[in-house]
Chain A
């Protein structure tokens, strides 16, 4: 006679299993290693040459930059901005599109049929992406040191703390993005809009003080601005006291964004249950 073995699934185990799945699939596409090594070196090059051209042989053209940025080390200034922006950029494409990718792959419905809260899919994918991006940043910092001679005066532990404090806001944005992309079924336009906004507003390669007042006010709302400012402060040798306000802002905005993302997922879940578009391409 039939004997069911069904147990109550654990949300935590499900989350870890999604992360395990994503990492397994990732390593089966070996070309990602190439982009992991090459992209961090290539991306800041254009900005570095621009700075070099503007600075002149003795950095004599940098006086205005030093006044606004508080440092003459434009190398460290540019790479710290670009690496954080690359993190958000890659996260939007990978984690931000994770539910949409499941939909296109045809596996979203079979995951949805599991008797477990559907947030496991997003949180697990975020874990896998965060692990991948931590590796990406470690490699990037080593490359910046070896190739460009970039080094920081401050504590590497403080730098790690800034990165960790940025995780909730970066992935909170990803939560909102992933849920909305599942509904809109279009990722390219949304990624370009979000990353373009951040590229302009967050002071990736220039001090935000050069922007008009209203743009500065907008920039101050975006968590990435605070992550970049705190990173640069740590690189310049500032202590925890100087970056505490930015860290608190990152944690608070991260909590709000994660809550907004989970709410968005619930809302989209209801909508697609009515419209029957869960499995639609």
Chain B
């Protein structure tokens, strides 16, 4: 039986948060609070699998991957990367993983794309002809070859993200860790990057990615762990997670005005189990997701809504998505 690419067992990370003291006053010990960023997180990733950590900002995704990639020491719990404990052999773990942290600033803007890759390649043990060939291959592969000798500061955000991904692939690591890889990218660049991630999976890389885009987790991941407030609240394939709430019909409303009292009344009447409103500034309208409860029909909900004196601009009935799974589990949207 093959060794899992990654094992995470009962991982905890607590941070001590001190209140700021005055100029001449140190905060007292009882003014110190403990913030639990990651709370008993456990999962395993099989070799060749794409595993998604899906959750809103501040859920504990980045803290988890920083502990896996040796940047953070866990308060408790254990991580094994291909059977190696990062606490005992951090350098060995680092030589087997390629990590892309969130943000586009993890490469040098005053170096060219090629120079960046040559620099980081040396830090991963490549040199001479092998380094040159590997850098040229990666520039070609990520469609950066034509502009490989330009300073990174002249690149677009998408190109910088591709340089970061190329950097992580310099040593062709078995495990790739991608923290919000498409955050801040335009839709076309995000789509390109997602296709690259799928190609990497085809080549046999194991990928652990964090995202707060449910479409991304759904499209890329073989399995998804939904994380909120530092805890994994669901873990399965995207299909199974959605199947779990398939009996829940999801209605998307577009309305001019929305008041939470309306949603609460619908819930009190047993017509819906959850609602999540979000104001769309561009459309100057509210988009409200309603999860219908029990045997309620769409017609009954809409009729009740209209009877309360409200108008509807538009509505659609949709298949449950991972976003709906998250709403069902937490009562809030991933974007909150």
Residues of A that sit less than 8 Å from B by CB: 1-10, 13-14, 17, 20-21, 24-25, 28-29, 105-107, 109-117, 120, 273-276, 278-279
Contacts and interface: CB of A to CB of B under 8 A. Distances in A.
A5 B122 contact: no
B120 interface: yes
A4 B130 CA distance: 13
Interface of B: 13, 15, 63, 66, 69-73, 91-92, 94-96, 99, 101, 103, 105-108, 110-111, 115, 118-120, 122-127, 130, 134, 151, 164, 167, 171-174, 203-205
B69 A113 contact: yes
Highest count of chain B CB atoms <10 Å: which of A6, A8, A25: A6
B174 A2 contact: yes
A80 B161 CA distance: 49
Contact of B125 (A105, A109, A115, A117): A115
Contacts of B94: 113-115
Contacts of A28: 110, 151
A113 B174 contact: no
B124 A9 contact: yes
A13 to B, nearest CB: 5
Nearest to A14: B123
Contacts of B15: 275-276
A12 B281 CA distance: 55
A29 B115 CA distance: 17
A3 to B, nearest CB: 7
A2 B205 contact: yes
A2 B107 contact: no
Contacts of A21: 108, 111, 115, 119
Nearest to A102: B108
B123 A5 contact: no
Contacts of A20: 119
A278 B71 contact: yes
Given A9-B125, A107-B105, 5 more contacts: A2-B174, A9-B123, A25-B108, A114-B120, A276-B13
Nearest to B37: A276
Contacts of B101: 109-110, 113, 279
5 contacts: A5-B126, A13-B127, A24-B110, A275-B15, A276-B72
Given A107-B105, A110-B107, A7 B125 contact: yes
B171 A1 contact: no
Contacts of A14: 122-123
A4 B119 CA distance: 19
B117 to A, nearest CB: 12
Give the interface SS of chain B, mostly helix, strand, loop or mixed: loop
B66 A276 contact: yes
B180 to A, nearest CB: 14
Contacts of B127: 10, 13
A120 B120 CA distance: 12
A8 B126 CA distance: 8
B111 to A, nearest CB: 6
Nearest to B90: A115
Highest count of chain B CB atoms <10 Å: which of A14, A24, A105, A110: A110
Contacts of A116: 91, 123
Contact of B106 (A13, A25, A29, A109): A109
A213 to B, nearest CB: 34
B71 A113 contact: yes
Contacts of A273: 70-73
Contacts of A10: 125, 127
A28 B70 CA distance: 33
A17 B172 contact: no
A17 B66 contact: no
A274 B174 CA distance: 27
Contacts of A279: 71, 101
Nearest to A6: B171
A82 B95 CA distance: 46
Closest 4 CB pairs of A and B: A106-B105, A2-B204, A7-B125, A114-B123
A40 B234 CA distance: 65
Highest count of chain B CB atoms <10 Å: which of A4, A115, A120, A276: A115
A113 B99 contact: yes
A104 to B, nearest CB: 9
A109 B204 CA distance: 26
Contacts of B124: 6-7, 9, 114-115
Contacts of B99: 113
A106 B103 contact: yes
Contacts of A275: 15
A106 B110 CA distance: 13
Contacts of A110: 101, 106-107, 120, 164, 167
Contacts of B92: 115
Contacts of B69: 113
Contact of B203 (A2, A6, A24): A2
Nearest to B121: A17
Given A25-B108, A107-B108, A112-B71, A6 B119 contact: no
Contacts of B171: 4-7
Contacts of A8: 95, 125
Contacts of B120: 110, 114
Contact of A120 (B71, B123, B167, B203): B123
Contacts of A7: 124-126, 171
